[in-house]
Chain A
Amino acid sequence: MSHLLELQKISKSFGPVQALHEVDFSLQAGEVVGLIGENGAGKSTLMNLLGGMLQPTAGQIKIDGSAVNITDAISAAQRGISFVHQELNLLDNLNVAGNIFLGREPRKWGCIDETRMADQTRPLLDKLGLDIAPEHHLAELTNGQKQLVEIAKALSMDARILILDEPTSSLTIKETDTLLTLVETLREHGMAVIFITHRLAEIERVADRVVALRDGELAGHLSREEISHDRMISLMIGRDLSEVYPPLPDAIGEVILSVDHLTTARWPRGGASFSVQAGEILGLAGLVGSGRSELAQAIFGVDESPSGSINVEGTLLERGSVDAAIARGVFLAPEDRKASGLVLEMSVRENMTLNSLNRFSRRTRIDVTREREQTEQWRQEYGVKAPDVEQPVGDLSGGNQQKVVLAKWMTLGPKVMIFDEPTRGIDMGARHEIYQAMADLARSGCAVLMISSDMEELLGMSHRIAVMCEGHLTGILEPDQFSEASIMKLAVQTGGTAAPPK
């Protein structure tokens, strides 16, 4: 029997980096396959090959048994492959129908036939159980509804293969449930679905089969009966969890950072109160958009915070001033390394010293020689794999970039170090080094706040876990309460129907 979709010995390399190595994959009509793997395991690369964003270096893609060449997103769509990205590809300034038919609008006399477009949209929305009008403006929808609009768009293109990349990462529990039910309905109609997620419970519920990738290679399959949380984890990681997460320091000192009813510009009615002690790593969990990053930015002072107070070692920290935060030893390794953490075009040396140039300058002049010697020493100390410190950081891997960020801040002697998604897009080897550095930092008496969306990371690297939902801190879990379920319960506590205020 020929498969609907078959990938044979697919390889993809980016220059010297082998992202995928001889991966086999197959898909039947009416089947939901869970695709799992750590960040950087090659899931996105594999799916981008299917979606036409990338071309394989070697191997073959077969649809209905015949080899095809997917050159771009349009040719993928023509072959019935529809890719719903994690970051939704929708236009906020159009209505629902306009988004669904973007680029394929029905026309009359050269103008868009709005009536016909709306008529064609309505049955699609009904099919998905989405109770909104085609004329509804997209900006007014919640994330969950937008996700469904994306799927409606896929249906309108007669997709036979639907790729869902982390579809639930910003959805509430109720919306997630709706989406999973929908996936089950689509399966009954013969749709083949590739479901990518970090939430293993969702895979347990909907997947007929699990395919795991690790470091660009096929790590294994699980059939419906074999699917279990622990087996998926061991397939993804390929090693014992204790090899990934170093032991945490057990000497907890006095309170270093204490935050009282702090609000953020995005969630002015929210508020968070918590404290972090010396030697402690406090995990901060929550859905994407729950206000965790905004809270971190408010503490670091790059964002204004309307109200509340921040205390460092018992004295008040001025809100909304990066200078004040840095002077008090409160540092942030931001979520988006490329946008906020580093200047990619600049060298390792220039990036490492950008926050501390006064240490390398006499009056206004930069002492480049001293700067080079010192950063070379740091480069070796932090194990940044680069030929020398003059290498632009944009040429380094994610793990090495993150080490540059760590060196940049840790050498300033942090009192409070905030990590926002410290290991996103970083391979397992480098992750271990970063976890080790975090643990060492805590052991030296620093208070660490770690924002993460990675459940395993939160559970493995935190002394306590605080959870946020819609700008509020909904609870703090002690180690004996640690579980994925208890985190999720707090993360969606307020029910979450409203889109965040703009």
Chain B
Amino acid sequence: MLSRYRKELCLLLVLLFVAFWTIIFSRNREADGLLTALLESRFLSGRNLENLARQIGMYGIFSLGMGLVIISGGIDLSVGSLMALLGTVFFYMLTGAHAWIPGMHWPFAMALLLVLAVAIGLLHGWLIAKIGMPAFVVTLCGLRGYRGLAQTLTRDTSLGYYDATYSIEGLDRLMTGELFGMPAAFIAFLVISGIVYYALHQSVFGRYLLALGRNEQAARYSGINTTRIITYAYIACTLLTCVSALFFALYTADVVPSMHGNFFELYAIAGAVLGGCSLRGGEGSVIGIILGTTVLLVLQNMVNLLGYDSSFSKVITALVILGGVLVDRFEIWKWVSFRSKTA
């Protein structure tokens, strides 16, 4: 049984290693006794954990969407730019400050934004699965276009929502509040993970997605409507990007279209690939994507807490991803014996 989750277990080991490393080097040096010193480390402080959980939540949500697209054998490079566009549009909906975008109460704005995200996903899916354009090209245009559109709308300035003309009561509490001491983004991430887990690993959709990611032709010859399933994957990606965009926009409280969500698609791809998704498609698990994203964010957290040069953190991230994919390429995890080879 364990052997099926070797990849995930290896990733978990890496995660624990990074966490312990950070705990040890951020320990409270004034406390008496090693255990107390470790427990009072800056890594384990309430504020850090809360912050980390929020980050994992926000990055994790869109990484799951990216994971589905990668499993279908495609890619979505437009995630970060779409985030900037959706954040911008959302704030304009709240403030009603743009001529083209009607102002409205935040529940309507949220619903409309989700509909907009689904429409964009539908467009991606249609162009890629039905028309047959390469996913790389379609979403590369999205990468340039959506951010450009956001910058055009704002005339390339930053945009906040505190001067909203419509009541924003409850919005803050919903999106940046806490429940049982956990940030809202993290709770949303847990719920969404559960849904995506069901969709990918237990539902018919997931089986079809894995099958067509491996061999689209064989899936078609089995009577699977591959166009529809692939389109669903792109819709899931933009929809989850939208959910994440809402959290991000309210977390940062103002959107700078030229910076907002920059390179987020690369975080998502890195997290998914590190978590065992194959860019050739047909391979990947929700647990893997979650662990992959978490490893990247804990690494980032380590660099911040331990005061390493933050530019150098990019090098570390690069090496971890490269190492992770190398391990996968040569199936090094097979060398680790779990004494359950018969399974």
Contact = CB atoms under 8 A, between A and B. Distances in A.
B205 interface: yes
Contacts of B220: 302, 322, 340
A188 to B, nearest CB: 46
B223 A343 contact: no
Given A339-B215, A345-B214, A357 B221 contact: no
A366 B215 contact: no
Interface in A394-436: 408
A302 to B, nearest CB: 6
Given A346-B210, A364-B203, A366-B202, A323 B223 contact: yes
B219 A365 contact: no
B183 interface: no
Given A323-B223, A323-B225, A326-B223, A357 B207 contact: yes
Interface in B243-279: none
B135 interface: no
Interface in A166-189: none
A340 B205 contact: no
B211 interface: yes
B221 A334 contact: yes
Q: Which of B217, B222, B225, B282 has the most CB of A within 10 A?
A: B222
Contacts of A332: 221
B218 interface: yes
B19 interface: no
Interface string A303-333: 0000000000000000000110110000010
A322 B204 CA distance: 18
B325 interface: no
A339 to B, nearest CB: 6
Contact of B204 (A300, A344, A364): A364
Q: Which of A326, A354, A365 has the most CB of B within 10 A?
A: A354
Contacts of A196: none
A322 B224 CA distance: 8
A366 B223 contact: no
B225 A354 contact: no
A350 B219 CA distance: 11
Contacts of B210: 346
Nearest to B203: A364
A344 B215 contact: yes
A228 interface: no
Contacts of A340: 217-218, 220-221
Interface string B192-220: 00000010001111011011001101111
A218 B198 CA distance: 55
Contacts of A339: 215, 217-218
Interface residues of A, number: 26
A361 B218 CA distance: 21
A18 interface: no
B214 A346 contact: yes
Given A322-B223, A345-B282, A346-B211, A357 B204 contact: yes
A342 B211 CA distance: 9
B109 to A, nearest CB: 30
A341 B202 CA distance: 23
B218 A341 contact: yes
Contacts of B223: 322-323, 325-326, 355
B68 to A, nearest CB: 15
A346 B207 CA distance: 10
B211 A343 contact: yes
Nearest to B210: A346
A342 B215 CA distance: 8
B204 A361 contact: yes
A111 B221 CA distance: 47
A358 B222 CA distance: 13
A322 B226 CA distance: 11
A299 B61 CA distance: 43
Q: Which of B211, B220, B223, B225 has the most CB of A within 10 A?
A: B223
A366 B204 contact: yes
A343 B214 CA distance: 7
A325 B221 CA distance: 11
Contacts of B214: 343-346
A332 B225 CA distance: 16
B204 A354 contact: no
B2 to A, nearest CB: 16
A29 B76 CA distance: 60
B203 A343 contact: no
B224 A354 contact: yes
A364 B215 contact: no
B204 A358 contact: yes
Interface string A465-502: 00000000000000000000000000000000000000
Nearest to A324: B223
Interface string A343-372: 111100010001101100100111000000
Contacts of B218: 339-343, 354
Contacts of A364: 203-205
A461 B305 CA distance: 75
Contacts of B224: 354-355
B219 A354 contact: yes
Contacts of B211: 343, 346, 350, 354
Contacts of B219: 343, 354
A142 to B, nearest CB: 27
B236 to A, nearest CB: 14
A340 B223 CA distance: 11
A322 B202 CA distance: 25
Contact of A350 (B207, B221, B225, B283): B207
B218 to A, nearest CB: 5
A30 B219 CA distance: 50
Q: Which of B204, B221, B283 has the most CB of A within 10 A?
A: B221
A357 B223 CA distance: 11
A325 B214 CA distance: 24
Contacts of A322: 220-221, 223
A343 B207 CA distance: 11
A355 B223 CA distance: 6
A302 B202 contact: no
Contacts of B207: 350, 354, 357, 366
Contacts of A355: 222-224
B63 to A, nearest CB: 23
30 contacts: A302-B220, A322-B221, A322-B223, A323-B223, A323-B225, A325-B223, A326-B223, A339-B215, A339-B218, A340-B217, A340-B218, A340-B221, A341-B221, A343-B211, A343-B214, A343-B215, A343-B282, A344-B214, A345-B282, A346-B210, A346-B211, A346-B214, A354-B207, A354-B219, A354-B222, A364-B204, A364-B205, A365-B198, A366-B202, A366-B204
Given A302-B221, A341-B218, A365-B202, 15 more contacts: A300-B221, A332-B221, A334-B221, A341-B221, A343-B215, A343-B218, A343-B219, A354-B207, A355-B224, A357-B207, A357-B208, A361-B203, A361-B204, A364-B203, A366-B203
What 6 A-B pairs come out closest when comparing CB atoms?
A355-B222, A354-B222, A364-B203, A326-B223, A343-B215, A340-B221
Interface of B: 198, 202-205, 207-208, 210-211, 214-215, 217-225, 282-283
